[in-house]
Structure 1
Amino acid sequence: MVDRISRRLFLAGAGSLLIPATGLAEAPAVSLRPVLRGAEISGAERVIRAARLKGDVVFAVSDVKTGVQLEAHGGGESLPPASVAKTLTALYALDVLGGDHRFETALIADGPIENGILKGDLILVGGGDPLLDTDALASMAANLREAGLTEVRGAFKVYSGALPYVFSIDPGQPDHVGYSPAISGISLNFNRVHFEWKRGTSGYDVTMDARSARYTPSVDMAAMRVESRSLPIYTYQPSARQDRWTVAKSALGNGGARWLPVRKPALYAGDVFKTLARVNGIVLGRVQVTREAPNGQVLVVHQSEPLEKILKGMLKYSTNLTAEMVGLAATRARGVQPRNLADSAAEMNNWAAQSFGAMRIAMKDHSGLSDGSRVAPADLVKALVAAQQQDTLRPLLKPFTLKDAKGQRIKGHPIKVAAKTGTLNFVSCLGGYMTTAAGTELAFAIFTADLEHRATIPRESRERPEGGRSWNRRSRKLQQTLIERWGALYGS
């Protein structure tokens, strides 16, 4: 059922419909005016039925200034929020860590240095920086040389214990998708390795590297073998010191490239740093991974961008790894030592309940990639309202483009939207803020899902399942229709 506002606010909203709706993408298929309870269905229900979207639709919208809920559909029903969950993670990290927080990656000498020779171990210490890349490691290697180090007599270690190790953000995803890599206290290039192939005269030439803007070092900890088969396209086999992949020859064509997930982040970072150190004349031994916190002399420190800037990028590009790492870091900063993503997400759920009275937030991770997460839209809207009253989140969200019936961007649309999208197979969500033509600011969350159909999709088909795109298009159209409806109803 649709919960409605008071008679006074209803009349104000209905009166706004007298204003010509010139900004609508197209004439609505059904009346935007809500009707009284009774035998007839409500205006929102008419819009939902017209969308012909199989599955469930739940939403909530509130006035930001007053916090009053204006309309809701689906009662207290909860659905997976997909990547809209990243808005909650951003608020969690900002509240616990602060917008100026910077993550540090360091090089530590565990032993004395005499005449440029370290008579002990060199340790690359991960500090949970989700944006650490090959360029940053290259700068650290150069700074190590500039600090006067020329030789390391002891071991070369990589510390990964700042965060728990997670094999895959969502183990239910196909092995080869780059958006579900491993997690640990050190990350490099979003824990993805670049696989490239070219057809040669006697087969395929393949490379595995850790490319970034300035460098393209090859890696030894990831290996690819081309096999004569049709399916599966990729297989993954772990070993003690390698991510071992195979790929079906029939799928390669003349050439191409893609990013594959890294399952051994500490080995990956150590492998790349060894190469970059050697370029600077420093030869390091075999990479050893440790989760014991190091002690010693700090030689080089790399600082990340401020957290606020990291989160803006996370929300723009919807990077799952960033969400998980900043969420885990916030949980540890609250004095909790999570064993996995579910533990950390549970602490974020507690925080949301304490901070906003949001009792129906039950996340299983920080990115929204798990379809086991459940959120009631009204509870997320509570958090969005509180955040906007402090002007915390909206500056970090990217504009959401309203489109016409042909899918073209509507220039100068009177409704302005800043929001986070969320998409899984047969799950499509949108949450954020909208400003009506008259300047009224609303916070909203719209969740749609066909979980029954999603459950039938085989694991190997989850990257691009049949029917997924058309279902998502219908959901996005419904989301825009609801936004335009609210712009007309609550615009004055």
Structure 2
Amino acid sequence: MRRWLGRSSLFLGALSLSVVSVVVQAAGFDHVARLADKGFVISAQARLLDSGEVLGALNPSQPLSPASVTKLYTAAATLDRWGPQHRFTTRFVSTGTLDGNGVLHGDLVLEGGGDPALTSEELWRLIQKLRELGVSSVDGQLVISQWRFGPVTCETSDRCKTQTEGTNAYASLLSSAAVNYGSWCATVMPGVVGQPARITSCDTVAPTLRIENDVTTVAASGSADLYAKRVTDSQGDTLKISGRIPAGTYPRPIYKASSDPADQTGQTLLSLLRQAGVPVSGGYAVSRQAPPSVAKDLAAVEGKPLQELLLRTLNYSNNFMADTLALDLTSGTQQNLPDAGRELERFATSLPGHGAAILRSGSGLTPENRVSAQSVNALLNAMYGNASLFPTFVAGMQVPANGPMHFIRRGSQTFQDHVMLKTGTLNEPVTVRAVAGYFRTDSGRWGSFAVLVNGTASTPYLSWRETLPMVADDLTAMIERH
């Protein structure tokens, strides 16, 4: 009996030390630590950047899924590679000849430059440059060249589903020659009460894809209730829109991912060329081959500078833009997301104090991504120390008090005004709620933080309404103590 009691005492002593260790480690993240009682796995760390002092930590070296916090790695890697003023170029090239009547004899090739924010507006500017050159028609095909990457193999269930059905815009497919973020856009406008609504394309005068309109105009006192999805068959994409829209209300835009971004570009550009009075006799085709080396530049348009791209990518957590930027980091032809992930991993592991990382995408849609809170802080510290890149990097983060994402407007006024952050959310295969960024203490000192919360198959659903106040309470205490 005495021997059993001795072992029990040793066990209880070890348990006491373990509990004390957890309590000490969780110091500074007392509220967040409560999620561990519900079965969630947590990695958290906050530190001052001038001294390196750790203000709070909870399993800081535990690798977990960061979800869209991954986009901070993409932003940092692209800034490190190109700088804030880099622009991606989209070109018209051809091996054909232009005669005295303005006829281009040969194919007109759009060479996709991997611009993640190429839109119909840029295509209009490109067409205008073609017209300035004197081109009035094309006796050949319009060829969409996605030789750099595309179609990119889907790595997540959401994107794989998008190949046959589009129910959202966040899982758009990827191509170096994509336009309008790889999504179709239609505008629903009310008509006469009792009659169908009016539906037009956002990007071209005449819709470039089939639209099935089952939207009814109801009385002005009614409510709007729209449902839309994109389906694909042997004839291509169809946008099916149903529901109701009240008379006299504002138009509602609908965005749904296309089944083939390069094909979408072909349809859109062919329509725009016709509207501009530059008919193409041979229709369009999509190619994975680079234009011949003897092809001559006809026109080019530069996209927005990288600093603007990152503002949109981070502020709106745009998956299409993030993954396109990550793919732009690769070299060679027909690259896929694992190739982009390896570039991000090389960048991450080169940072002082970072350590190993698993990054399978630049967006964080891939649930296999793994970094720790300590590693994320190493990234944030490295960017803070880069005087030429830090202003652009931090500008992409949201300040809760006035950020575009309303769900982050929680917590104390101190948290609202003193924190700059990026969030990450996944609901499948397990819940992920992640947040990282910078804060300013009451005395004006800079700090960084990362909180990664991962669920398991047995943990309950976790909302931001529950999570963010806990993070806010812990950070508020740190900010006000210093």
- Whole-Å Cα distance in 2 between the matches of residues 265 and 202 of structure 1? 36
Query: Which residue of the other structure, out of 30, 40, 56, is the alignment partner of 1:55?
Result: 40
Offset at residue 437 of structure 1 (A): 0.7
Q: How does 1:424-463 map to 2 (within 5 A)?
A: 424-425=426-427, 426-452=431-457
Query: Is the alpha carbon distance of 1:170 and 1:205 closer, same or farther for their aligned partners in structure 2, counting shifts above 3 Å?
Result: farther
Query: Which residue of the other structure, out of 253, 256, 276, is the alignment partner of 1:280?
Result: 276
Contact 1:360 / 1:376 at 8 angstroms: preserved in 2?
A: no
Offset at residue 300 of structure 1 (A): 1.1
CA deviation profile, 1:291-330 (whole Å, cap 9, x unmatched): 1111322111100122122112211222111111111111
- Corresponding position of 1:31: none
- Whole-Å Cα distance in 1 between the matches of residues 244 and 155 of structure 2? 27
| Structure 2: unaligned runs, 5 residues or longer | 1-18, 216-226, 403-407
- Whole-Å Cα distance in 1 between the matches of residues 63 and 380 of structure 2? 17
Query: Which residue of the other structure, out of 172, 176, 179, is the alignment partner of 1:181?
Result: 172
Q: The residue matched to 1:172 in structure 2 has which SS?
A: helix
Query: Which residue of the other structure, out of 284, 289, 296, is the alignment partner of 2:286?
Result: 289
Offset at residue 195 of structure 1 (A): 3.4
- Whole-Å Cα distance in 2 between the matches of residues 265 and 130 of structure 1? 12
Offset at residue 360 of structure 1 (A): 3.5
Offset at residue 153 of structure 1 (A): 1.1
- Whole-Å Cα distance in 2 between the matches of residues 169 and 300 of structure 1? 35
- Corresponding position of 2:328: 329
- Corresponding position of 1:92: 77
- Corresponding position of 1:153: 139
Q: TM-score, normalised by structure 1?
A: 0.77
Offset at residue 382 of structure 1 (A): 0.5
Q: The residue matched to 2:30 in structure 1 has which SS?
A: helix
Query: Which residue of the other structure, out of 192, 212, 220, is the alignment partner of 2:208?
Result: 220
| Structure 1: unaligned runs, 5 residues or longer | 1-35, 228-232, 457-466
Q: The residue matched to 2:176 in structure 1 has which SS?
A: coil
Q: How does 1:362-401 map to 2 (within 5 A)?
A: 362-391=358-387, 392-393=389-390, 394-401=393-400
Q: How does 1:236-315 map to 2 (within 5 A)?
A: 237-239=231-233, 242-246=236-240, 249=242, 251-252=243-244, 256-284=252-280, 285-295=282-292, 296-315=295-314
- Whole-Å Cα distance in 1 between the matches of residues 451 and 320 of structure 2? 24
Q: What is the RMSD computed on CA atoms of the aligned residues?
A: 3.3
- Corresponding position of 1:482: 474
Offset at residue 159 of structure 1 (A): 0.9
Offset at residue 149 of structure 1 (A): 0.7
Offset at residue 235 of structure 1 (A): 6.0
1:120 paired with 2:106, answer: yes
Q: The residue matched to 1:259 in structure 2 has which SS?
A: strand
Q: The residue matched to 1:185 in structure 2 has which SS?
A: coil
The amino acid across from 1:194 in the alignment is C
Percent identity between the aligned chains?
22
Query: Is the alpha carbon distance of 1:331 and 1:485 closer, same or farther for their aligned partners in structure 2, counting shifts above 3 Å?
Result: farther
Q: TM-score, normalised by structure 2?
A: 0.79
Contact 1:59 / 1:74 at 8 angstroms: preserved in 2?
A: yes
Contact 1:57 / 1:74 at 8 angstroms: preserved in 2?
A: yes
Shifted more, 238-247 versus 382-391: the winner is 238-247
1:101 paired with 2:86, answer: yes
CA deviation profile, 1:357-379 (whole Å, cap 9, x unmatched): 53332122101122222211111
CA deviation profile, 1:247-280 (whole Å, cap 9, x unmatched): 5x5x556695420002211221121222221222
1:353 paired with 2:349, answer: yes
Q: The residue matched to 2:265 in structure 1 has which SS?
A: helix
The amino acid across from 1:328 in the alignment is L
Contact 1:349 / 1:363 at 8 angstroms: preserved in 2?
A: yes
